[in-house]
Amino acid sequence: MIRAALSSLLQLMRPGDWLILAAGILGGTYLFARLPAAAERVTIQQGGRVVLEVSPRLDREVWVAGPLGDTVVEIRAGRVRVKSDPSPRQRCVRQGWLAPGETALCLPNQVSVALGTSRHDTLSY
Amino acid sequence: MTAPPPEQILHTTAEDRRIAALAAAAVGLSLAEAAIPSPLPGVKAGLANIVTLLVLYQYGWRVALWITLLRVVASALALGLFLTPTFILSLAGALTSLAVLAPLTRLPPRWFGPAGLSMLAAAAHLMGQLVVVDLWLLPGIALAPLIPPLAVAAGVTGLVNGLVAAAMLRQNAMLADGDTP
């Protein structure tokens, strides 16, 4: 039954149609292969001000001073985490390495660390 | 008592009525499609293009142009999008794809069927829209990252719509031959 439906569907495809389909698949693969990698950004904010905005490709440790003390952010091999923080609950430290698009908030120290892709600001069409 | 208004007689030809009926079918598909949630903004099934393809094969490009214009304007009016950027995009896509399709129907039907033509038309539709976006609506926006997913969606919807049109044309030909499937 399914095979019959499929073969009747395939009969509708002329040789040129297969050619166009193959060209389309090749073109689509090429387009995806060439797709520019999303530009990644680590954004560290303290008290609402952007302290640092860097690529996660450069390994470093950043010390951000807040009201309770220093929050240490570690950037390593394209990943980012809050290494240590003076806040009592340690939520942002326990969050570990951030997934793309994730944000760690160390609230009492007013530090936020975001691993984001830099996007276009206009996407309404 | 006012006199009854004089009776208006609108003379229509068979072709006018055919265009009206087919345009109504295309508008119906466009409106039904507007209710289907889209997986990606900008991706639509383009069901009304099935009507365009059928008309192009059976009645030629003049009728197809009429039906395309009526469909784009009427569905935009019904959805409250007339003269908005969405309407401009829809018009640009529809006209580009028709401009590509019309000469392609002259290709030998032994080698090229509605499925292939529909894929090319979908690609042209997307290209026309991207050109309008780039030149007029949002000049300067980085369109490149948007193209691959949109192009793949266009290819898939073009293929499916083309196969539907091909199946309907085959059915029609069988009925015309008096040979029930």
* Interface predicted TM-score (ipTM) of this complex, two decimals: 0.83
Q: How confident is the model at residue A123 (pLDDT cuts 50, 70, 90)?
A: very low
Bridge partners (DSSP) listed for residue A72: A63, A84
Residues 6+ apart with CB under 8 A from B148: A28, A31, A32, A34, A35
| The model's pTM | 0.69
Range of the domain at B74: 14-177
Using a CB-CB cut-off of 8 Å, the residues of chain B touching A6 are none
Structural domain contains residue B24: yes
pLDDT (average), residues A97-110: 87
In a domain, B43, yes or no: yes
Give the gap in angstroms from C-alpha A44 to the nearest C-alpha of chain B.
26
The answer to which of A50-59, B42-51, B107-116 has the lowest mean pLDDT is A50-59
The tens digit of pLDDT for each residue in B128-143 reads 999 999 898 888 777 7
Residue B75 has pLDDT above 90, yes or no: yes
Q: Is the pLDDT of residue B7 over 90?
A: no
Interval A13-42 mean pLDDT: 84
Residue A51, min C-alpha distance to chain B (Å): 27
> Does residue B20 belong to any structural domain of this protein?
yes
Partner-chain residue, chosen from B41, B119, B147, that has the shortest CB–CB distance to A31? B147
Please check whether residue B2 lies inside any domain of the structure: no
Identify any residues that bridge with A50 across adjacent strands, giving them in sequence order.
A45
Tell me if B144 is assigned to some domain. yes
d(CA A91, CA A78): 22
Q: Is residue B3 part of a domain?
A: no
Check B112 against A9: CB less than 8 A apart.
no
CA distance B33 to chain A (A): 17
Residue A20, chain B, CB below 8 Å: the answer is yes
Does residue B141 lie within any of the structural domains?
yes
Residues of B in Cβ contact (< 8 Å) with A38: 145
Question: Based on the structure, what is the number of domains in chain B?
Answer: 1
What's the full length of chain B, in residues? 181
CATH number, domain containing residue B103 = 1.10.1760
CA distance B33 to B44: 8
Residue B170 falls inside a structural domain: yes
* Radius of gyration of chain B, Cα coordinates, nearest whole angstrom: 18
CB contact under 8 A, A125 and B162: no
